[in-house]
Amino acid sequence: MRAEGGLTARRILCVFPRYTSSFGTFEYAYPLTDGVQAFMPPQGILLIAAYLPENWDVRFVDENIRPATAEEMAWADAVFVSGMHIQQHQIIDICQRAHQAGRTAVLGGPSVSACPDHYPMFDYLHIGELGDATDDLIRRLAQDPSRRRRQVVLTTEDRLDMTLFPIPAYELADCGRYFLGSVQYSSGCPYQCEFCDIPGLYGRNPRLKTPEQIIAELDQMLACGIRGSVYFVDDNFIGNRKATLELLPHLVEWQQRTGFAIQLACEATLNIAKRPEILTLMREAYFTTVFCGIETPEPEALHAMHKDHNMMVPILEAITTVNSYGIEVVSGIILGLDTDTPNTGRNLLTFIEQSQIPLLTINLLQALPKTPLWDRLSRENRLLHDESRESNVKFLRPYDDVVMMWRMCMAEAYRPERLLARFEHQITHTYINRRAVPATPQRASKANIRRGMTMLRNILWQIGVRGDYRRAFWDYAWRRLRRGEIEYLISSMLVAHHLIRYAQRACAGQANASNYSLRQREPQMAAE
């Protein structure tokens, strides 16, 4: 579905801001690839681009790949921007450049929806999801695209049914430059974890697209050049288990039709381990990774943050269960909780050793607006607004002790030999359980083989010859090469190299301790 046509045609430049370098951007993996320059295509702004009237001329620039030029700004009648809290400084920079060109600047997305007062410089603010506010914005711009004397704030009251969402405008993006693709099936999450802003922004009752929509989006992504993996960005893939069970057979059929050209990944609560019927179908649909917000192995901390559902099955048992379906678990971890003790860091390292999870996003606690945590800390006068700090939370433990604990955990967890030993465990205990995928023409295409050889060459040269952890690398790589596990070597080293490099920066005090921190670091540089 598109917005109403017949309106005066306008030129819209959609700009997605740079990310500051963080744990989750994976930029240290990019030099090992065949030209990747950014993490995932931004779903939200590409959805808006697809919804605009058909007679409007729309362009898209992801500044993680290259900056929008002055000429592009001057071409547009209006500049649309969307982003998250961690992109706040870059969001404001795009607005300033649009105004320098005399163009109207429009901001939507999760950051402004939670904190509209942070963006007084924009001409229009779009609060909330796609809906009646979007239609109002389009009508206003059709009538007059010039800058406003006073800021106009438009708030969605009637959200567009997700079954009417258009396919995001992947054709506007340089999809071959992304580390992986992304797709959204649902919005919202039934749980109320204290630190999470999803229920506050998108509600507790998950809203859904149809399976047919998802298949059409996957087809379009493949046609536009997405390769490798596609990540379901749903806040909880099993938030509506009935709907998940309805979708999965369609994904199995799609994988068979397209020759298993890509792997699938998603985010789900750890109690997915209690759903063998879902895990069985996920294995058949070639899901290879699931991100679980484990947060902490300490039960009292899980109870305090209202995440008791993580204890419905013992955590280590749940991880083993998920692994038995060939699905690797990636874990979110939070340090700096009120329940932390001097032993919390060591407890975490013990958990990492026991679980054998290679990739854990270890963050310091950050309070986000529109969360129960924000409200509680506000009442307790424990919210800080000092961007030179690693967190906006006044910890109960000494700040320096918490930061040092984070750095110690990063250093120990991502020592090359320890990290690669955990990947070794995954290969021998998890990957072996994946469904056998045939050597289809799509997987064995000349382009895929060429891409794989390019990445293998880069890995062997940049890590095996020039790297500073060559011994650990070759101990691991020789086993892969001898066993013909080239695909495992490539995929694991892309992730491992980023983790090792980022941990080295973290230990040197050169990396933010939270993916949500506004602390100014050198931004991830857009490619020349």
Q: Please, which pLDDT band fits residue 420 given cuts at 50, 70 and 90?
A: very high
Whether 145 and 287 share a structural domain: no
Whether 184 and 128 share a structural domain: no
Whole-number Å distance between alpha carbons of 19 and 421? 30
* pLDDT tens-digit map of 435-487: 999 989 999 899 999 999 999 999 999 999 999 999 999 999 999 999 999 99
- Whether the pLDDT of residue 526 is over 60: the answer is no
- Whether the pLDDT of residue 86 is over 50: the answer is yes
User: For the chain, what is the domain count?
Assistant: 2
CATH of the domain at 423: 3.20.20.70
Q: Please, which pLDDT band fits residue 192 given cuts at 50, 70 and 90?
A: confident
Whether 201 and 130 share a structural domain: no
pLDDT of 520 reads 58
> 174 is written with which tokens?
């340089």
Instruction: With respect to residue 501, please indicate whether it lies within any of the assigned structural domains.
Output: no
Q: Please, which pLDDT band fits residue 522 given cuts at 50, 70 and 90?
A: low
Instruction: With respect to residue 149, please indicate whether it lies within any of the assigned structural domains.
Output: yes
Whether 120 and 38 share a structural domain: yes
CA distances from 140 to 4, 78, 133, 146, 355 (A): 13, 11, 11, 10, 54
Can you tell me the mean pLDDT for 67-77?
A: 98
Instruction: With respect to residue 289, please indicate whether it lies within any of the assigned structural domains.
Output: yes
CA distances from 421 to 63, 205, 331 (A): 36, 40, 17
- Whether the pLDDT of residue 319 is over 70: the answer is yes
Please state which of the ranges 97-101, 117-121, 250-254, 298-302 shows the lowest mean pLDDT: 298-302
Whether 308 and 216 share a structural domain: yes
Instruction: With respect to residue 467, please indicate whether it lies within any of the assigned structural domains.
Output: no
Q: Which amino acid is at 285?
A: A
Closest alpha carbon to 108 in 138, 87, 82, 134: 82
CATH of the domain at 145: 3.40.50.280
Q: Please, which pLDDT band fits residue 517 given cuts at 50, 70 and 90?
A: low
Q: Please, which pLDDT band fits residue 492 given cuts at 50, 70 and 90?
A: very high
∠ CA 450-215-444, nearest 5°, is 20
- Whether the pLDDT of residue 103 is over 90: the answer is yes
- Give me the DSSP letters along 473-510: HHHHHHHHHHTT-HHHHHHHHHHHHHHHHHHHHHHTT-
pLDDT of 4 reads 77
pLDDT of 519 reads 61
> 385 is written with which tokens?
């607004």
Instruction: With respect to residue 117, please indicate whether it lies within any of the assigned structural domains.
Output: yes
- Whether the pLDDT of residue 515 is over 80: the answer is no
pLDDT of 255 reads 98
End of a domain among 429, 461, 476? Answer: 429
Q: Report the mean per-residue pLDDT for the chain.
A: 93
Instruction: With respect to residue 451, please indicate whether it lies within any of the assigned structural domains.
Output: no
Whether 218 and 138 share a structural domain: no
pLDDT of 485 reads 97
Q: Domain residues for 357? A: 180-364+407-429
Please state which of the ranges 14-18, 261-265, 351-355, 520-524 shows the lowest mean pLDDT: 520-524
What is the pTM assigned to this prediction? 0.94
Whether 324 and 420 share a structural domain: yes
pLDDT of 191 reads 78
Whether 144 and 243 share a structural domain: no
pLDDT of 121 reads 98
Q: Please, which pLDDT band fits residue 23 given cuts at 50, 70 and 90?
A: confident
Please state which of the ranges 184-193, 315-324, 398-407, 424-433 shows the lowest mean pLDDT: 184-193
Query: Which residues make Cβ contacts (< 8 Å) with residue 110, sequence separation at least 6?
Result: 44, 83, 84, 85, 197, 201
Whole-number Å distance between alpha carbons of 395 and 473? 38
Whole-number Å distance between alpha carbons of 272 and 435? 19
Instruction: With respect to residue 146, please indicate whether it lies within any of the assigned structural domains.
Output: yes
Long-range Cβ contacts of 92-95 (<8 Å, 24+ apart): 92/119, 92/121, 93/17, 94/15, 94/17, 94/63, 94/68, 95/119, 95/121, 95/122
Query: Which residues make Cβ contacts (< 8 Å) with residue 467, sequence separation at least 6?
Result: 473
Q: Please, which pLDDT band fits residue 313 given cuts at 50, 70 and 90?
A: confident
- Whether the pLDDT of residue 366 is over 50: the answer is yes
pLDDT of 17 reads 98
Q: Please, which pLDDT band fits residue 528 given cuts at 50, 70 and 90?
A: very low
Whole-number Å distance between alpha carbons of 136 and 161? 17
- Give me the DSSP letters along 110-169: HHHHH-GGG-TT-SEEEESSSBHHHHHHHHHHHH--SPPSS-EEEE-SSBPPGGGPPPP-
Q: Please, which pLDDT band fits residue 81 given cuts at 50, 70 and 90?
A: very high
Q: Quickly count: other Cβ atoms within 10 Å of residue 305's Cβ.
A: 23
Task: Quote the percentage of the chain above a pLDDT of 70.
Answer: 97
Task: Quote the percentage of the chain above a pLDDT of 90.
Answer: 83
pLDDT of 525 reads 42
- Whether the pLDDT of residue 135 is over 60: the answer is yes
Can you tell me the mean pLDDT for 500-521?
A: 81
Whether 55 and 195 share a structural domain: no
Whether 357 and 230 share a structural domain: yes
Instruction: With respect to residue 386, please indicate whether it lies within any of the assigned structural domains.
Output: no
pLDDT of 1 reads 74
pLDDT of 527 reads 36
Q: Please, which pLDDT band fits residue 283 given cuts at 50, 70 and 90?
A: very high
Q: Please, which pLDDT band fits residue 200 given cuts at 50, 70 and 90?
A: confident
End of a domain among 117, 138, 155? Answer: 155
* pLDDT tens-digit map of 396-419: 999 999 999 999 999 999 999 999
Q: In what order do the strands lie in the sheet with 328-335?
A: 181-183, 228-232, 262-267, 287-295, 328-335, 360-364
Whether 186 and 322 share a structural domain: yes
Q: Between 308 and 276, whose confidence is greater?
A: 276
Q: Please, which pLDDT band fits residue 521 given cuts at 50, 70 and 90?
A: low
> 232 is written with which tokens?
């379901």
> 515 is written with which tokens?
């993916």
Whether 141 and 249 share a structural domain: no
